[in-house]
Chain A
Amino acid sequence: MDLIGLFNYWVFIVLMMSGFYLLLSARNLVKKIIGVNLFQTSVFVFYISTANVTGGAVPIHDEGIEVYSNPLPHVLILTAIVVGVASTALGLSLILRIKAEYGTIEEDEVDAQDVLS
């Protein structure tokens, strides 16, 4: 079984699970945002690696080139990258507000203050 051809999926799974674990277990809110970003970029790697065709070229039409990489996942991921940075910016501004309101960005301290008030 030609398992080495699955290498790109393993990379994607490792990255995704690292981001997932970081998201679940980090106390500092900025680290959670980093986990979300790690998760998102792993999905980008997955899609783009499935779009690759061995021996294909960049999807820009040129004379004499027959095989191109599939451009459809490229388009989806272009959208996803920009949406990712937009949501990161929103998440970080939420963190700034949380810091201003609660004085801290550690998750358990924010939770404690929420319960008491």
Chain B
Amino acid sequence: MLFGMYSLVSASFFVVVDAADVAMTEAAVGAGVSTILMLSTLAATGYTVRKRPPRRELLAIVVAIAVGGALLYGTLDMPRFGAPNAPLHQHPVAHHYIQVSPKETGIPNMVTPLLASYRGYDTFGEVLVVFTAGIGVLALIGRRPRENGELAPEDGFVDHTATRHRVLRVVAKTLIPPILLYAWYIQAHGDYGPGGGFQAGVVLAAGMMLYLLIFGVDRTEKLVRPRTLECLIALGVLVYGGVGLVNMAQGGNFLDYRTLVHDEKHAIHYGILAVELGVGITVAAVMTTILFTFAGHLRNLLGTAYMANLSRRSNQGAQSA
């Protein structure tokens, strides 16, 4: 819980120092996806942490304080907060990004062409990292096993969502379409305001997660098949790399968008849109897959007994819908 609050406070800090894109990403990722992952891990590994005397690691404290002191000494020479004459702002690259890139690419938001075009290789690497994380989670935990191609049977678990939890159901059904629309808005509007592929992917995953939390793993798997998601994970990376390969095929360098169409400015714009789409697809698919695997694992682990217990107790529990 504190974790989510901490992410939200850092996102607010980012807004205050005029870092709008970063604030949006941090809010979506930290306060949304990360918190849910932590909570499901804690649920799957047992709530009760035995009270043990906290261990005083003297060496760790000494090392931490020593490193902290060294860093503190190192920062005495650093430029003051917000100083306009810091070396970071004097470098010609910063001037190019701020002054020239809106004219050269025609995109007002300076972060988007920087992310997708000037530093496109870094973003490609990052999409690959996200892809690898998705594959890693799938390899470690895997999906729920299927018998004869069907989903594993749910013994003892009665899905109460259709009859109880009316408030939650209605609110979820009301909120999820605007969330998905907002994700698409962020994706498409990344040129003119804060936004872009990552934020859009994470917000879309958050919408799917809301559905997952309220309606359960089975109905969500009927809605979006995990096999489709796995294909989408790869599709995003393929789109990104594909744009680079098209550039090479047309005689330019890898990810040099100017060779896409004849007009250079438009070509860069199209290239950026295409790669942001690839990024958004991969990030959305990976986040959703990770949430699916965590939820499926939780369901498998808790097993029949817990579910039966829960059904019995919610049968005799509060009656209001």
Answer whether A and B touch in the complex at a CB cut-off of 8 Å. Answer: yes
A residues apposed to B, CB below 8 Å = 2, 5-10, 13-14, 16-17, 20-21, 24-25, 27-28, 30, 33-34, 37-38, 41, 44-45, 48-62, 67-79, 81-90, 92-97, 99-100, 105
A88 to B: closest C-beta gap in Å: 6
Q: How far is the CB of B17 from chain A (nearest CB, A)?
A: 4
Q: In the complex, what's the smallest C-beta–C-beta distance from A106 to chain B, in angstroms?
A: 8
Interface residues of B, CB < 8 Å — how many? 87
Are A79 and B10 also in contact (CB < 8 A) when A54-B83, A59-B111, A71-B114 are? no
**Contact yes or no, B290 A89, CB < 8 A:** yes
Q: Which residues of A contact B293 (CB under 8 A)?
A: 93
Majority secondary structure of chain B interface residues (helix, strand, loop or mixed): helix
When distances are taken between beta carbons in the complex, the residues of chain A under 8 Å from B26 are 44, 81
Contact A61 B108, beta carbon cutoff 8 Å: yes
Give me 19 A-to-B residue pairs in the complex whose CB atoms sit less than 8 angstroms apart, sorted by A's number.
Answer: A6-B78, A34-B38, A45-B10, A50-B79, A53-B84, A61-B110, A70-B98, A81-B26, A81-B30, A82-B129, A83-B129, A84-B29, A85-B34, A89-B133, A92-B41, A95-B41, A96-B141, A97-B141, A105-B45
- The answer to whether the Cβ of B321 comes within 8 Å of any Cβ in the partner chain is no
8 more CB-based (< 8 A) A-B contacts, given A5-B82, A70-B88 = A16-B68, A44-B26, A48-B22, A50-B86, A52-B19, A53-B84, A81-B25, A86-B129
Residue of B whose beta carbon sits closest to that of A68? B98
A-B CB pair tally, cutoff 8 Å: 231
Given contacts A49-B81, A93-B137, contact A86 B75 (CB under 8 A): no
Q: Which residues of A contact B21 (CB under 8 A)?
A: 74, 78
Contact indicator A74/B19 (Cβ below 8 Å):
yes
Q: Which of B44, B86, B110, B122 contacts A59 (CB 8 A)?
A: B110
Closest residue of chain A to B289 (Cβ to Cβ) is A89
B102 in contact with A96 (CB, 8 Å): no
Residues of B within 8 A of A76 (CB): 122
Partner of A67, one of B33, B84, B109, B136: B84
User: Do the beta carbons of B137 and A89 come within 8 Å of each other?
Assistant: yes
Q: Are B78 and A90 in contact (CB under 8 A)?
A: no
Separation of A38 and B38 alpha carbons in the complex (Å): 14
B13 within 8 A of A: yes
Residues of B contacting A90 in the complex (Cβ-Cβ under 8 angstroms): 133, 136-137, 140
Chain A CB within 8 A of B80 CB: yes
* Contact between B89 and A70, CB atoms less than 8 A apart: yes
Beta-carbon contact of B64 and A17 below 8 Å: yes
**Taking the complex as formed, is B65 at the interface, i.e. its CB lies under 8 A from any CB of chain A?**
yes
Known contacts A24-B64, A61-B109; decide if A72 and B114 are in contact (CB<8 Å). yes
Residues of chain A with a CB closer than 8 A to B13's CB: 45, 48
A78 touches B130 (CB 8 A): no
Contact partners of A78 in chain B: CB under 8 A? 21-22, 25, 111, 115, 196, 198
Least CB distance from B247 to A in Å reads 21
Is the beta-carbon distance between A85 and B33 smaller than 8 angstroms? yes
Known: A6-B78, A69-B18, A75-B119. A27 touches B25 (CB 8 A): no
**Among B18, B80, B122, B136, contact of A79 (Cβ-Cβ < 8 Å):** B122
Q: Is the CB of A44 within 8 A of B17?
A: no
Interface stretch of the complex, out of B53-61, B165-173, B206-214, B309-317: B53-61
- Indicate if the CB atoms of B3 and A37 lie closer than 8 Å: yes
CB–CB B81/A52 < 8 A? yes
Query: A85 vs B4: C-alpha distance in the bound complex, in angstroms?
Result: 13
Q: How far is the CB of B73 from chain A (nearest CB, A)?
A: 10
Q: Which residues of chain B have C-beta atoms less than 8 A from A53's C-beta?
A: 82-84, 89
Residues of A within 8 Å of B194, CB to CB, are 58, 60
Cβ contacts under 8 Å, B203 to chain A: none
